[in-house]
Amino acid sequence: MSGWESYYKTEGDEEAEEQEENLEASGDHKYSGRHSLIFLVDASRAMFESQSEDLTPFDMSIQCIQSVSEIISSDRDLLAGVFYGTEKDKNSVNFKNIYILQELDNPNAKQILELDQFKGQQRQKHFQDLMGHRSDYSLSEVLWICASRFSDFQFKMSHMRIMLFTSEDNPHGSDSSKTSWARIEAGDLRDTGIFLDLTHLKKPRGFDISWVYRDTINIAKDEDLRVHFEESSKLEDLLRKVRAKETRKQALMISVGICNLLLKALKSSAIKLYQETNEPVKTKTLTWTFNTNTCSLLLLSDTKKSQIYRSHQIILEKEETEELKWFDDPGLMLMGFKPLVMLKKHHYLRPSLFMYPEESLLIGSSTLFSTLLIMCLEKEVIALCRYIPRRNIPRYFVALVPQEEDLDDQKIQVTPPGFQLVFLPFADDKMNMPFIYLFICLFVSVDLILPKVEAMNKRLGSLVDEFKELVYPPDYNPEGKVTKRKHHNEGSGSKRPKVEY
């Protein structure tokens, strides 16, 4: 698309590795650190009991771990394998019934071959010789061992996760003290930023998550809870569930510019000039705060703001008042996508803005922006975003409507490519306007002063005719012309004589 700079990566692998090392050493470890995952597998006898001719829950767990180990997204990731409920123990603090098979390390062929020993017909015998089974264990100690694996590692980690494979919903039975300690240790994991995922497998009487694991699992905010509460009875279901949890969900940012294509031209305000030099005069206002008792000058640190609520005076510091005005950092956050037909004309709230990529601020923004624009045009969808234009400004919800580039016959750009930023109304902005109905009179006007002859005839009946016969003569015609009566001495030929005085 014209006007956008293309971005092509030309750096070598060595430069990329050096850049990653520099970021890990000095940058933010949230994005530059390593991703670490510990597979925590229940090794009790219940995991080796098959409900049918299919694989046992332990076999499904081992194959799932192998699948994740073979398909990794980065060679800098760290994986480990820990078994609990074993007869033998192998850990740094000699906790009973906990066996660390693989320490945190980069995925390699040796780890996969170690897991192959637990597959096939001899898996039960090999596992019995290496670890054995025992149900007397403490889940809090198991979680503490996993947390210590993360803390003992020397590199910075951006994502720490424990994936628990088990088919036992009540590991401690009636021992409430071990259950409470497990919940406390799970809370410590939550405070340190370690995610605990439950990958429970199907059992004969059903898996009741409310016994222990409802209060112990700790998942990320953007993960689907339905994935965690579903039992896995087949290997395909377990692989789908694990891969959905292991998918990385990092934030992706691009740099964009927003402009207003149409703006009303306003008359500029008057500028005051100094009479002698014609220099612009600036008005500066200074506000001084004094103590009413001592008349001493008060500094900004000496003043506070208060709000009275139910006869209680709430005092706020300056920093607290600024935090109340702060909603989030300025920018756009993608919320999702909707079909273009769902954007109606009556959703118009204010004039829209135009959004375009800014390659100069963040390299690669135009590439991702153009890809997003092309896909939105092909699928005929709009992007719903949360928009904060400036600091201390309330958030808006906007729709990014894709706009295709338009060229004329001379290949001159008429319409630029980009997104139209359309503001969406809130519930308060949608008002039910009353309809005003206009009735047009199509009838002839009626004089209400005239008597209602039909109503009177219907009410009086024959009394009207009798009254007319008594009052009017027989030859009376009400519609006829009235003749003027003359006196007897006023004939047509008679004239009055003239009298002289």
Q: Which residues are catalytic?
A: 30
Distances (CA, A) of 116 to 33, 67, 103, 140, 373: 30, 12, 17, 29, 47
Q: Give the separation between CA 33 and CA 190, rounded to whole angstroms.
A: 19
Q: Write the DSSP string, 271-315.
A: --B-TTT-PBPPP------B-TTT-PBPPGGG--EEEEETTEEEE
Q: Give the separation between CA 73 and CA 401, rounded to whole angstroms.
A: 33
Contact indicator for 353, 401 with CB cutoff of 8 Å = no
Q: Give the separation between CA 91 and CA 380, rounded to whole angstroms.
A: 56
Q: Give the separation between CA 60 and CA 470, rounded to whole angstroms.
A: 120
Q: What sign results for the dihedral spanned by CA atoms 119, 121, 122, 127?
A: positive
Place of tokens 């390593």: 34
368: tokens are: 């991702």
Torsion angle (degrees, nearest 10) of CA 80, 86, 87, 89: 20
122: tokens are: 């001899």
Strands 194-200 and 157-166, bridge-based pairing? parallel
Q: Give the separation between CA 402 and CA 383, rounded to whole angstroms.
A: 9
Place of tokens 């995610």: 195
Secondary structure class of 345 (helix, strand, coil): helix
Per-state percent for the chain, helix, strand, coil, to nearest 5: 30, 20, 50
Q: What sign results for the dihedral spanned by CA atoms 464, 466, 471, 477?
A: positive
Looking at the DSSP bridge assignments, the partners of residue 160 are 36, 194
Q: In angstroms, how far is the first alpha carbon of the chain from the final one?
A: 122
Q: Give the separation between CA 412 and CA 434, rounded to whole angstroms.
A: 48
Q: Give the separation between CA 386 and CA 383, rounded to whole angstroms.
A: 10
What residue type is assigned to position 177 of the chain? S
**How far is C-alpha 221 from the geometric centre of its chain's CA atoms?**
12
Nearest to 167 by CA among 231, 216, 123: 231
